[in-house]
Amino acid sequence: MRRRLTLVLGLAGLVLVTAMILEVARRGRFAVALSTYSTAARGAKALFLLCRSSGRVARRWTQDLVGLPRGRGVLVAVGTPWDGPQRELARSEREALLEWIRGGGTLVVLGASGYLPEEAGLIVSEKTPPGRKGEPSPGLERAPWKDPWLAAQVEARDGEIAAIPTEHTLAAGLGRLALRGPGELKITAGEWQRVLVSPKDALVLVRGLGRGRIAVAASASFVENGSLARGDHAALALRLVSLGTGPVLFDEYHLGMGSSRSVASYLSERGLTFVLVQGLLALALVLWRAGARFGAPVLRSRDAPPVHDAKSYVDALGHIYARAGDVRASMERVVTAAMGRVAACHGLDRQEPEGLARTLAERGRLGASRAVQQALERYRAATARGDVLGAKHLVELQRNLDRDLQEALNREGR
């Protein structure tokens, strides 16, 4: 009962872990901010659904950028200026991204710092308040209300700035727009066009690169679930993703929930493959040791034939006595067991070899009687040796008995 309880608890634990993994795989409840899986106020699922409802093919991109569809598509990167990507872009990905844009792809970066390749000619970074000199005073890092510089930084992240449309075609007809906590857009190369500006800085920029285009917004607050329906935020979002043709791909691999990999793949990336294998082996060993067979025990019928034949029984018994070192006693037991087998074969009670030979002769089993007498003579000859008996003598006697008693074990032997 105890073993069964352990096994049941182990199986229940496995079912619970599997259910948890499947629930996490849905990625709706445990999504991070600005992920297209998130339904929170600062999530971006509304933008994903808006693109789908507008007739565009919208998908979540859950792999590296090397596999982007060539010559078409719109890649959307939604992030914040103060946090870089959850997963850094590799060098090969940056090169593939540039080649994809030059080939006709469109990249839309909404507030995500550290995402644009250097060759794009623009840097998205957090806007820091002026006046900080040196390191912050000890003990003030966690208390912004006691440090004017930190307080200004927090206000810059949470404060909204009115966006002013320019004469660019993307801004035509746009009215009330506001961006919360915009970052700084620093142009390093290329000809960038302003779409939205504030009294001091540019908020939305676009440029062409090869056959493709790049659009960058200083903040992604206008596409959040809680802000998309305000003012003309939805109209601006649709105009930005409409700069290119083909499917709209939201990068969840670098900025959102990551790839749709399994738990085993995640542990493998962290170098914990062998730990996982060892854990599974340990769990299997525990379940095997604690497990028990379900159902009633199988009882062997008394009328069923024995599992082992006479030879295997004699072999086993002979080896036991041989290992004990008493070869003479082993020979005696071998002969006694063989005679008992012959008696049972002919329906007789167990008796001494001489009496068994006489009884068989009286019943007309002359062949069996002669076989028993011959086996008895071999036994007497083997035990009458003057030298020390060894294991080879026991094996020789057993081999001869098997040969001599073949006829005796035949019910029709005469």
Please answer whether residues 176 and 163 qualify as being in contact, where contact means their C-beta atoms are separated by less than 8 angstroms.
Answer: no
| 205: β partners | 194, 216
In this predicted model, what pLDDT tens digit does every residue of 1-26 receive, in sequence order? Answer: 566 777 777 777 777 777 666 655 55
In this structure, which amino acid lies at residue 222? Answer: F
Distance from C-alpha of 32 to C-alpha of 27, rounded to nearest angstrom: 9
Angle between helices 45-53 and 233-241 (to 10 degrees): 70
The whole-model pTM stands at 0.55
Cα 314 from Cα 368, distance rounded (Å): 19
Is 368 within 8 Å of 408 (Cβ atoms)? yes
Nearest to 339 by CA among 297, 382, 366, 369: 369
Block residue for tokens 């008693």: 405
The one-letter amino acid at 305 = P
Residues of the chain with pLDDT under 70: 1-3, 19-32, 128-158, 257-272, 291-326, 385-392, 407, 410-414
Question: Cα angle at 24 between 19 and 25, to 5 degrees?
Answer: 95
What pLDDT, on the 0 to 100 scale, is given for residue 156? 60
**β-pair type (202-209, 193-197):** antiparallel
What structural domains and CATH numbers belong to the chain? 1-26+265-295 (no CATH), 28-129+142-259 (3.40.50), 310-404 (no CATH)
Please tell me the predicted confidence (pLDDT) of residue 27. 45
* Residue-wise pLDDT tens digits, 253-306: 888 765 555 566 666 656 667 777 888 888 888 877 776 666 666 666 655 555
